[in-house]
């Protein structure tokens, strides 16, 4: 042990300790590298940063164990390649002063460093910041940092936030900067609250950005390459059929076989659709009009029906560059709003044996609940027409599931007369109905009295499917199992 003599002489130039608290003096020593006895090599570039072993041991159990298990050396260097020098500087500031500036850009890397070094006080500050400051604008950036540093707790917290705010978060610039693993985690969830049409458009934007990152031209073919397996998490089978036909199917995001298989799936032919495609609807948005419905309402034009063969021919023509299309077929270039293509497989289940008298309908809803023994595709319902003369009804059609969630709703205008008794009213897009669950169809009609169904059946079997009807508490106009409106359902059986 070396003996040293204390020098009592002072020049007054090195009394930086005067007026400083212990915390302030320690920070001064850190910033000016006074008596530092350990060097940290940080990040991939192994940037050097000096500190004091006694502070490190006092504040970090991980560093305490490290220094205790190694022989003390004068020139000690510790390599930490997964923490950058910028992040470690913030960690040191907290260790020495109990203060640190946490913000959306650094909270992920700070939390990773705090967990790595077991600085629990800093970890708690990071989580507190996230509780108070996670927002639509920074959620994606935090998610990416949490993924990068394998902070599963933070990752799950961000993911839950993004799923809940899906509609708004997906439209931020931060989403297009996510890696493919993070994007997959976001869009594969049933809990993502966003309409599928929006998910598709956002994913086209992400794929375009990914093409640029890969130095590829942003063509649809390259976008499909960039999407890879992610494309199967876009739930094409749950899209509005008109939106899919006009906005999706004529692009090269899907192969021709995939596009045709989805087109057929909309109308009950599911055997050709790959199991890779997710067919389940996400949790629906509350009080927000579906993107597809917004766009349909802004378009005018002749409505047409289309068979699978006609669809395939139109798709092939529209995918040909305009300069190479035959001049004899200009009509296929028109953007025509499409209705649900006709299907030879539509069946009908009729609730009433006959009709008798009139049914008043001045606004209160008519509704009936039902369940089926096998999965079906529900296209819509039948309604009774005017009991006398010609009448144009403006009605609202709804479908609710057994969780009392609204599954479909749309406005329909129907002109009726006394020649026909029933008229078809369809949903904007068909609905897949699973077996042994109770669904409710409801219709609100205002106008002159219509025909009234009587002698209704509680159970009916059509095409091997057993339908069980029951009264609905949504029906305040009097319709029930035995009497009223909604004489039938339009459906086909699926596998």
Best CA proximity match to 441, nearest among 386, 391, 379: 379
- The percentage of the chain sitting over the pLDDT mark of 90, rounded to a whole number, equals 39
Give per-residue pLDDT as tens, 379-413: 999 999 888 888 888 899 999 988 778 888 999 99
**Across residues 236-251, what is the average pLDDT?**
83
What mean pLDDT comes out for the span 87-91?
95
Mean pLDDT of 181-202: 93
Where residue 1 falls among pLDDT bands split at 50, 70, 90? low
Residue-wise pLDDT for 100-126, tens only, equals 999 878 888 998 999 999 999 999 898
Question: Please, which pLDDT band fits residue 11 given cuts at 50, 70 and 90?
Answer: low
Question: pLDDT-based confidence at 309, cuts 50/70/90?
Answer: low
- Determine the pLDDT at residue 332: 27
The pLDDT of 310-330, averaged and rounded, is 48
Confidence label for 289 from pLDDT (cuts 50, 70 and 90): very low
The verdict on pTM exceeding 0.75 is no
Give the model's pLDDT for residue 495. 64
- Residue 71 is predicted with a pLDDT of 66
> Bigger pLDDT: 307 or 133?
133
CATH number of 347-493: 2.60.120.820
> pLDDT at position 316, please?
58
Average pLDDT over residues 267-273: 71
Q: What is the mean pLDDT of residues 318-346?
A: 40
Can you read off the two tokens belonging to residue 166?
Answer: 């899906």
pLDDT for the residue numbered 10: 61
pLDDT of residue 210: 94
Does 75 have pLDDT greater than 60? yes
Q: Would you say domain 22-133 falls under CATH 3.30.300.20?
A: no
Which pLDDT tens digit goes with each residue over 453-465?
998 999 898 888 9
The residue among 118 and 294 whose pLDDT is bigger is 118
When pLDDT is averaged across residues 365-370 and rounded to a whole number, the result is: 95
Average pLDDT, the chain: 82
Tell me the domain boundaries of the chain. Answer: 22-133, 195-321+332-344, 347-493
pLDDT tens, 203-216? 999 999 999 999 99
């Amino acid at each position: 042990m070396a003996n040293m003599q204390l020098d009592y002489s002072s020049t007054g130039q090195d009394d930086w300790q005067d007026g400083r608290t212990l915390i302030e003096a320690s920070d001064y020593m850190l910033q000016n590298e006074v008596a530092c006895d350990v060097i940290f090599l940080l990040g991939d570039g192994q940037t050097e940063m000096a500190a004091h072993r006694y502070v490190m041991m006092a504040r970090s159990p991980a560093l305490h164990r490290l220094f205790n298990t190694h022989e003390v050396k004068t020139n000690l260097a510790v390599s930490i390649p997964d923490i950058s020098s910028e992040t470690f500087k913030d960690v040191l500031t907290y260790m020495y002063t109990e203060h640190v500036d946490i913000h959306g850009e650094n909270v992920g890397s700070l939390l990773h460093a705090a967990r790595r070094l077991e600085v629990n006080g800093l970890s708690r500050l990071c989580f507190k910041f996230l509780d108070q400051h996670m927002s639509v604008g920074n959620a994606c950036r935090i998610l990416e940092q949490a993924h990068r540093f394998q902070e599963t707790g933070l990752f799950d917290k961000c993911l839950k936030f993004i799923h809940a705010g899906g509609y708004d978060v997906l439209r931020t610039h931060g989403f297009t900067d996510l890696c493919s693993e993070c994007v997959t985690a976001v869009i594969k969830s049933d809990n993502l609250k966003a309409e599928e049409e929006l998910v598709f458009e956002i994913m086209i934007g992400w794929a375009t950005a990914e093409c640029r990152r890969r130095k590829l031209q942003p063509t649809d073919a390259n976008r499909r390459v960039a999407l890879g397996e992610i494309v199967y998490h876009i739930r094409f089978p749950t899209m509005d059929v008109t939106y899919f036909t006009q906005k999706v199917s004529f692009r090269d995001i899907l192969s021709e076989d995939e596009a045709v298989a989805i087109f057929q799936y909309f109308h009950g032919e599911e055997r050709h659709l790959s199991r890779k495609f997710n067919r389940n609807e996400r949790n629906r948005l509350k009080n927000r009009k579906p993107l597809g419905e917004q766009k349909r309402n802004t378009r005018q034009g002749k409505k047409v029906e289309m068979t699978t063969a006609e669809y395939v021919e139109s798709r092939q023509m529209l995918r040909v560059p305009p300069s190479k299309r035959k001049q004899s077929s200009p009509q296929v270039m028109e953007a025509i709003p499409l209705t649900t293509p006709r299907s030879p497989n539509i069946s009908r289940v009729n609730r009433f044996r006959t009709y008798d008298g009139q049914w008043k309908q001045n606004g209160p809803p008519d509704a009936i609940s039902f369940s089926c023994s096998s999965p079906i595709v529900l296209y819509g319902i039948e309604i009774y027409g005017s009991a006398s003369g010609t009448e144009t009804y403006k009605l609202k059609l709804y479908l609710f599931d057994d969780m009392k969630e609204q599954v479909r709703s749309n406005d329909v205008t129907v002109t009726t007369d006394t020649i026909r008794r029933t008229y078809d009213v369809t949903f904007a897009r068909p609905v897949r109905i699973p077996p042994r669950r109770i669904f409710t169809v409801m219709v609100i009609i205002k106008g002159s009295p219509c025909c009234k169904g009587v002698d209704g059946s509680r159970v009916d079997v059509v095409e091997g499917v057993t339908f069980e009807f029951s009264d609905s508490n949504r029906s305040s106009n009097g319709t029930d199992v035995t009497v009223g409106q909604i004489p039938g359902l339009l459906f086909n059986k699926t596998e």
